[in-house]
Amino acid sequence: MNGSKHARRTTGARRWWRLVLAGCLAFALAVGVAGVGWLAVDALAVRRHLQESARLLVDLRERLDAGDRDGGRQAVARLRAETAAARARTGARPWRAGTHLPRVGADLAALATIARVLDELSRRGLPELADVAATLDPASLAPRGTGVDLSRLSHAEPAIRVADAAVRQARDQVAAVPTAGLTDQVRDGLADLRAGLDQAAAMTATGVRAARLLPAMLGAGGPRTFLVLFQNLAEVRATGGIPSAFAVVRTDRGAVSLVRTGTAGRDLGVFSSPVSRLSEAARQLYTDRPAIFPADVNVSPDFPTAARLFREMYRVRTGETVDGVVATDPVALSYLLAATGPVAVPGGPALTRANAVRMLLSEVYARFRGAAAQDRYFAGATRAMFGALLRGALNPGPAIAALAKAAGERRILVWSARAEERDLLAGTVLAGRLPTDDRARPTVGVFLNDGSGAKLGFYLTQAATLQTVTCWADGRATLRLRLRLRSTAPRSGLPRAVLGLGLAGDPYTVRTQVNVFSPVGGSVVDAREGGAQVALGSGREHGRAVASFMVDLAPGRARTLDVRVMTAPAGGWSGPVRLVTTPGITPWAVSTAGATPCPPQKSD
């Protein structure tokens, strides 16, 4: 069962509608096995109907994968017949009477509710999901010529809304099923269904947002312009890396065009005074530098702050006001290259899935001497990638999977100047914000900023573990964050463009400022290294305590620090605690399994 669950989750991540099928299938398989011996004939009949429902869910998934719209509708019709039969059996008088029996009554009551929920979902929800999956085939959303056909997404929006409402209703009804007195098999099946429907509800909500947001941002209502920032992860910033190259993109009724490219250093430069007034809390943490230096707009992990600052810098220098800002990085581009194939770049090697990160973040500085030559290559790479995407030179399925993976790793961030679009982005990974209310599930943040004035971040690796160590009577929990940073930099041979300012003294030493964000309403208690106290700077941002310290790493060296973090007093959260980090060139090694909720405190 563990292998099949993993396969279902992996498959479900590729298309949001499949999470519904995976959740329903998990429950059907679990309770199908548990049905033997319950109310004899009725129990065996319910078992058969649930097992056939499981088979039909697999059939539906396969038909939709193959683009077989008619076959998918037929599978839904047969599924509806099976769930209706299970609902009729569990709603009959003998079954209802059995819900009052000792030992098995709780199981029978749960099964009756689940049969009803699945039947309702098969009648309203799954049919719409099947239609959407057939209508919004990945190929239909791929750019063709110069843009995207918006008509299919617009036509699919009503069905997406119906499916979202049905899935959310099913989720809420399943969440209300009591678990007290359930046998292990039914409890496990119920947990699988809850998890599947939770994920499905999140994804259908995203579908609703996308159906409203994408046409608007692609110019359905008129021309729009966006700044696309490319974060250079070799010089670390809280949201990823310094905004180095940028592009101005215009959208108009689905047509997408590249207006211009530039670099922050050459085209924006340094401002003599702040382009925007920062809050006192932000100035305490970051000084005025984010509003003066384009490379520092994202020293805070709050992407809307960085986007507003960069947009204003661009306006001051050019007189043009854009409608939004999008940020991405070379790792995300490498994911897309798996869908486009190699992309030729004038004056340099072609970019591929295998070489893009190393080329754009390391080799470019060795191959091209001087900032002007490097900027020309970056501009050429930007135009080449946009050209490949706009020509439709990509495999749509892998492209969508690549975008989903990059977004999940916080490598694609989006901000709109329009309030209604910001509302649609709020709460999604694309917004690039820590939650402002995390009482239900506390969030700890670990964000890095380069302190070397160099591009040595290419050689930085990171690991973090989070563990609950103490539970307090007022509902607070003390968490231990163990952070390990390591440098794989060589001891010699790097070009001057990589070594930069060498602010750590030794030009090959990586200096990194670490900012640890507590949960909302919590605190950062202290930090230690090898038992010795580490000096901390402190501040607050959006209701979170922030502690900062510097870590210097000579080539080949690693350092491990323990930071104690306190949650807010409220308690009542479900875990594990979330840990949000700066996206790195190499993935963080992260473990939060030990950051579990404290048990409820008994009142006197």
- Has residue 524 been placed in a domain? yes
Give how far the C-alpha of residue 41 lies from the chain's centroid of Cα atoms, to the nearest Å. Answer: 47
Q: What order of strands is seen across the sheet that includes strand 532-533?
A: 532-533, 523-529, 558-566, 477-487, 460-471, 589-594
CB 139 within 8 Å of CB 396 = yes
Range of the domain at 475: 437-594
What's the pLDDT at 230? 96
From residue 434, alpha-carbon distances to 199, 303, 444, 485 in Å are 20, 10, 9, 23
Show which of 422, 453, 475 is a domain's final residue: 422
Helices (H), 426-579: 496-499
Run of H or E residues at 484: strand 477-487
From residue 20, alpha-carbon distances to 27, 191, 570 in Å are 11, 14, 33
Distance, in Å, from the CA atom of 477 to the CA atom of 595, rounded to the nearest integer, reads 10
Both 182 and 233 in a single domain? no
What's the pLDDT at 34? 39
What's the pLDDT at 262? 93
DSSP reduced 3-state for 283: helix
Tokens of 329: 């990085």
What are the residues whose beta carbons fall under 8 Å from the beta carbon of 526, sequence distance 6 or more? 533, 534, 536, 563, 564
What's the pLDDT at 41? 65
DSSP reduced 3-state for 225: strand
Distance, in Å, from the CA atom of 568 to the CA atom of 112, rounded to the nearest integer, reads 40
Distance, in Å, from the CA atom of 36 to the CA atom of 46, rounded to the nearest integer, reads 9
- Has residue 112 been placed in a domain? yes
Which amino acid belongs to residue 163? A
How many residues are recorded in the chain? Answer: 604
Domain tally, the chain: 3
Both 188 and 270 in a single domain? no
What's the pLDDT at 146? 60
Both 417 and 462 in a single domain? no
Q: Which residues of 236-246 are buried (b: 16+ CB within 10 A; e: fewer)?
A: bbbbbbbbbbb
- Has residue 430 been placed in a domain? no
What's the pLDDT at 67? 67
Distance, in Å, from the CA atom of 525 to the CA atom of 80, rounded to the nearest integer, reads 56
Distance, in Å, from the CA atom of 304 to the CA atom of 432, rounded to the nearest integer, reads 7
Run of H or E residues at 535: none
Which amino acid belongs to residue 255? A
Give the single-character DSSP code of 265.
Answer: I
CB 502 within 8 Å of CB 489 = no
Both 111 and 25 in a single domain? yes
Tokens of 221: 């209502």
Both 11 and 27 in a single domain? yes
Q: What is the pLDDT of residues 114-168, one digit of tens each?
A: 889 889 989 998 888 788 776 666 666 666 666 677 877 778 888 889 989 998 9
Weakly modelled stretches of the chain, pLDDT under 50? 1-38, 603-604
Both 404 and 446 in a single domain? no
Nearest to 443, CA basis, from 383, 340, 522: 522
- Has residue 464 been placed in a domain? yes
CATH of the domain at 481: 2.60.40
Taking the alpha carbons of 328, 329, 334, 337 in that order, is the dihedral positive or negative? Answer: positive
- According to DSSP, the residues that pair with 486 across neighbouring strands are 461, 558
Distance, in Å, from the CA atom of 506 to the CA atom of 516, rounded to the nearest integer, reads 26
Nearest to 508, CA basis, from 476, 448, 576, 556: 556
Give how far the C-alpha of residue 172 lies from the chain's centroid of Cα atoms, to the nearest Å. Answer: 23
CATH of the domain at 380: 3.40.630
Give the single-character DSSP code of 362.
Answer: I
CB 323 within 8 Å of CB 416 = yes
Show which of 217, 242, 276 is a domain's final residue: 217
The upper half-sphere exposure of residue 130, i.e. CA atoms within 13 Å in the direction of its Cβ, equals 28
Give how far the C-alpha of residue 569 lies from the chain's centroid of Cα atoms, to the nearest Å. Answer: 28
Both 272 and 149 in a single domain? no
For 312, phi then psi, to 5°, come to -70, -40
- Has residue 203 been placed in a domain? yes
What's the pLDDT at 427? 86
CB 545 within 8 Å of CB 285 = no
What's the pLDDT at 402? 87
Q: In 10 A of CB 551, how many CB atoms?
A: 20
Both 511 and 416 in a single domain? no
pTM of the shown model: 0.83
What's the pLDDT at 189? 76
Both 335 and 478 in a single domain? no
- Has residue 604 been placed in a domain? no
Give how far the C-alpha of residue 240 lies from the chain's centroid of Cα atoms, to the nearest Å. Answer: 14
Q: What is the dihedral of CA 489, 490, 493, 497, to 10 degrees?
A: 10
Show which of 202, 217, 232 is a domain's final residue: 217
Q: In 10 A of CB 419, how many CB atoms?
A: 7
Nearest to 579, CA basis, from 496, 509, 479, 474: 479
